Structure 1
Amino acid sequence: MNQGCPNSHWVAADFEDILEILDCRRVPVNAEEREKRPGKVPYYGATGQVGWIDDYLFDEELILLGEDGAPFLQSDKSKAYLIRGKSWVNNHAHVLRAFCGTPNLFWKYQLDQVDYHPFVSGTTRLKLPQAPMRKIPLLVPPLPEQHRIVEAIESYLTRLDAVTAALERVRANLKLYRASVLKAAVEGRLAPTEAELTKAEGRDYEPASVLLQRILMERRRRWEQSGKKGKYKEPAAPDTSNLPELPEGWCWATVEQLLDEPLSNGRSVPTSADGFPVLRLTALKNGEIDLGEHKNGAWSIADAEPFLVKRGDFFVSRGNGSIRFVGRGGLVKSEPFPVAYPDTLIKVRISPTVLLPELLTRLWNSQIVRSHIEKKAKTTAGIYKVNQGDLELTILPLPPFQEQERILCELERLDSLATMATAQVSNNFKRATRLRQAILKWAFEGRLADQDPNDEPAEKLLERMREERKGSALEKESRRKKGRPRRAT
């Protein structure tokens, strides 16, 4: 048995004995230059196609193996890929052609299985130089067995790809399901309405419009009793002309109408090892505030006092590089230790007797809220931002208070089911990834395809490959001396 081989009729050889390296024919062309040369020829880089160009360097099936920037140390990622037909390759990928017409796909799969730790260099961006690449050990089965291995791998991976595609569809449907559940909640179709129940039970209830007016009158009364001078400013009412009709007993309200106290931006403070804690913007995660995401700021307890976080506070991000994330909100669900909030967050404190904080968190992700925020967001230096005025005019559907608990319970129940289903899909994705790795591992352990003692010995195949390599080297040297570079064929 050959050392390192899974069985006696395979042989091991260096990379350079098996794969012809065509790197000298690569020509990098930057993006600016490619814009001047539009065409239909694919332009390839380390891990795939990166553009188009008007001419070609190669016109055949080849293997491309990343030279730098490929995921060399990630066992579940491909490092090599095949290209076919006319192509142009830059200097971020090694260009390879198998000797003796052996199947390129066989070597592509084997290159995906190589342990690259001894051969790559660099820290932030790993590089596979040509010299160590030449000495990567590869396994050479008999040629007919190579074809059987490729056939077996393709058969298994085709079925696995179908499973993965089905999982992708399930994941997309779960996302649509969550959105449809939220839409049903916003439109009053998720739980029995208070109007329906009171009619059936023969009792009265407080419509949301009455609740809102009561809260607004109480707010005005507090202002008048505070002794403040000037004219009281009524909060802006929503413009409902283009809004859908709500269920009986519901009403539209602006955030400004629902506030228990004015909106408030946090404060920006530099880091200090022994200062008072302040949240980071990264504390806002999936509709919640992660109190563990904080730093120590260069300010005192007295300075931080106006910005202390309380349970039930709702915070909104002021800015983000992506419009999808600007204005996202998160709720403080637990009693916090003494910690303040930064200038990157806006505090929205709504009385829990008007709108349940947990329901506010859900409604904040609704399409009507996101449409308003994304419409109002302004971009500066690539950062989308919203201000207090934008948030005050954000419109929310307000159900009767008694109905809010039923809506929230149903939302949480259905969300729990979706979460469990999503977790199962994620686990199945991981299983599919592990199975893909196992299929390739079995293939190059000689356990995936039949072995036929009548196959030509691998030693003879390797001899021919080495002879072809010598002939290719002589041809290259001859061309070099004659100064006649040619297009690869």
Structure 2
Amino acid sequence: MSHLGLPAGWAVKNLGDLVEFKYGKALPDKVRSGAGFPVFGSNGEVGKHEVPLTNGPTIVVGRKGSVGQVHYCPGACSPIDTTYYVDEVPGRQFGFWRYQLRSLGLESLNRSTAIPGLNRTDAYSIRVNLPPLAEQVRIADKLDTVLARVDAVTDRLARVAPLLKRFRQSVLAAATSGRLTEEWRDINKPTKLLAEVQLGTITQERLCRMKKAKNAAERTRTEEFDVPQSWLWTSLDALTAKIVDGTHHTPTYVSEGVPFVSVKDIRDGVIDFSNTKFITEEEHCELSKRCPVEQGDLLITKSGTIGRTAIVKTNSPFSLFVSVALLKPASREVNMRFIDLALQDWIGRIDVSSRIVGSTIKNLHLVDMKVLGIPFPSLDEQAEIVRRVELLVAFADRLEARLQTAQTAAQRLTPALLAKAFRGELVPQDPNDEPAAELLKRLAAARDSQAAKPAKRGRSAVKT
């Protein structure tokens, strides 16, 4: 072990003493041939062109935009003007240097406040641990193997999230079609008459709650699907005493007061009050005359991001913007959690864009929501469906949490392995390896020889 804490035979030098960051060359998309050699931008390969800028293996480093991102091309390529490129490395060990540059944290050198940018002078001052040339080969080979495994794990983990999403959608579909409670019906024998009586009671209470009694809107039948014989279909309007959106005008905001909820504040089935704007108590009272929010109501986003839902679980007052619709239950018998499930299934199942108008801000009209068909089993079966869905969703939530933990761990593996490699801890040292100091001597001699050559006379080459 050396006095620097590195293995014997290693050396430490400034990056600028070992490699040169050359500027990429502008190559607009309109002039690229579309075939041939890879074209690299700061975030990776961006196209093809028949004439390359480099002649062999090339390491590309993001200079503008994706600052410090490192990409490797095993052959000739064209790095564009948002990049630096390295086409000469000590000992021609490109496999080693592609990892060395990734380990240096070049992305942290961004000094621009507008467009992210990397100054190569800053990069050149980084101190680099340099192993013997033979050990560089062993390090590169080992990293090729272990990082390929890390990438494979990362890819497999990335495929889990879509599976969980499909699982949640299948749970909703099973819940609203009756498949989820098929054996429950075999045991409890609910009848269609029971559902009709319960729906009739809700309908009567709905009329009593309304200031101006009005029959419920007829449902659309085009999106109905097969449900059990003991179920009914009804309209969303029939199960709600009111479907209304928030205020259509932008209120006067204050530093503190009553929370004012918009589409951004509804996510993952909850209302997030941590980043809401505020309005005065007086304005809230005025807005509540038309759109009074109460515990047990259901909210659904209807403008911008369509279809996020949340049941109100607080008695604390708040008001709504036009981007959020309020659904008030027609009676205390209405299971708003079941309606929530039906709405979520509808949003995930159909082409919502067919119901949406507006080219700039997408908007779902209240009239379309009112005529939405809702499957209606008996109230006992609705409660059982909600119970089962909540168990399955909780299971999916636990799997998702484990997935996020695994993905975080996988993301930390690559930098940890790179750090270990360049501390000399990834592969064993061989005392027979030529020390890195000898490589540095050859590099210095080559530079001195190059500097001693007379400068070429004649016109400077014109850049193209």
Q: Same fold (TM over 0.5)?
A: yes
Q: What letter corresponds to residue 14 of structure 2 in structure 1?
A: D
Match of 2:59, as an amino acid? Answer: I
Aligned 8 A contact 2:243 2:366 in 1: no
1:483 counterpart residue number: 460
SS of 1:247's equivalent in the other structure is coil
1:416 is aligned to 2:397: no
**Alignment map for 1:317-396 (pairs within 5 Å):** 317-320=301-304, 325-332=305-312, 334-351=313-330, 353=332, 355-367=334-346, 370-371=349-350, 373-381=352-360, 383-396=361-374
Are 2:40 and 1:44 equivalent residues in the alignment? yes
Q: What is the match of residue 238 of structure 1?
A: 220
Deviations 1:189-231 (A, max 9, x none): 11246653344xxx867543443344334545666xx577xxx
1:14 Cα deviation after fit: 2.0
**1:356–1:272 Cα change, 3 Å:** same
Tell me which of 85, 101, 126 is aligned to 1:111: 101
**2-side partners of 1:182 and 1:341: how far apart?**
27
Secondary structure of 2:179's aligned partner: coil
Matches within 5 A, 1:20-39: 20-23=20-23, 26-31=24-29, 33-34=30-31, 37-39=33-35
- Are 2:189 and 1:208 aligned? no
Is 2:177 aligned against 1:187?
yes
In the aligned structure 1, how far is the partner of 2:245 from the partner of 2:136?
A: 68
Where in structure 2 are there 5+ consecutive unaligned residues?
A: none
Residues 10, 139 of structure 1: 8 Å contact kept: yes
Counterparts of 2:183 and 2:234, CA distance in 1? 18
Q: What is the rounded CA distance, in whole Å, between the counterparts of 1:331 and 1:434 in structure 2?
A: 37
Q: Which residue of 1 is the match for residue 8 of structure 2? A: 8
Considering only aligned residues, what root-mean-square deviation do their CA atoms show, in Å?
A: 3.1
CA distance in 2, matches of 1:257, 1:372: 23
User: In the TM superposition, what is the alpha-carbon distance from 1:44 to its structure 2 partner?
Assistant: 1.5
**What is the Cα deviation at residue 142 of structure 1?**
0.9
Taking the aligned partners of 1:189 and 1:476, their CA distance within structure 2 comes to: 85
Aligned-pair identity (%): 24
Q: Distance in 2 between matches of 1:314 and 1:15?
A: 60
TM-score normalised per structure 1: 0.84
1:149 and 1:448 in contact (8 A); partners too = yes
Corresponding position: 1:156 with 2:146: yes
Q: How many residues align?
A: 461
CA change 1:167–1:222 in 2 (3 A) is closer
Give how far 1:415 is off.
1.3
Contact 2:191 2:230 in 1 (8 A): no
Confirm or deny that 1:57 pairs with 2:38: no
Q: Secondary structure at the match of 1:91?
A: coil
- Distance in 2 (alpha carbons) for counterparts of 1:362 and 1:17: 63
The residue that corresponds to 2:262 in the other structure is 280
Helix, strand or coil for the counterpart of 2:81?
coil
Aligned counterparts, 1:61-76, within 5 A: 61-70=57-66
Cross-structure match for 2:237: 256
Question: Shift of the alpha carbon at 1:407?
Answer: 0.7
The corresponding residue for 2:126 is: 136
Quick one: which of 296, 302, 306 aligns to 1:312? Answer: 296
Q: CA deviation at 1:376?
A: 1.0
- Say which SS state the counterpart of residue 178 (structure 2) adopts: coil
CA deviations on 1:136-156 (whole Å, 9 max, x unpaired) are: 222221111000011111222
Q: For 1:441 and 1:255, how far apart are their aligned partners in 2?
A: 59
How much does 1:423 deviate?
A: 1.1
Identify the residue that residue 165 of structure 1 maps to in structure 2: 155
- In structure 2, relative to structure 1, the CA distance for the partners of 1:471 and 1:396 (3 Å cut) is farther
Give the TM-score normalised by structure 2.
0.88
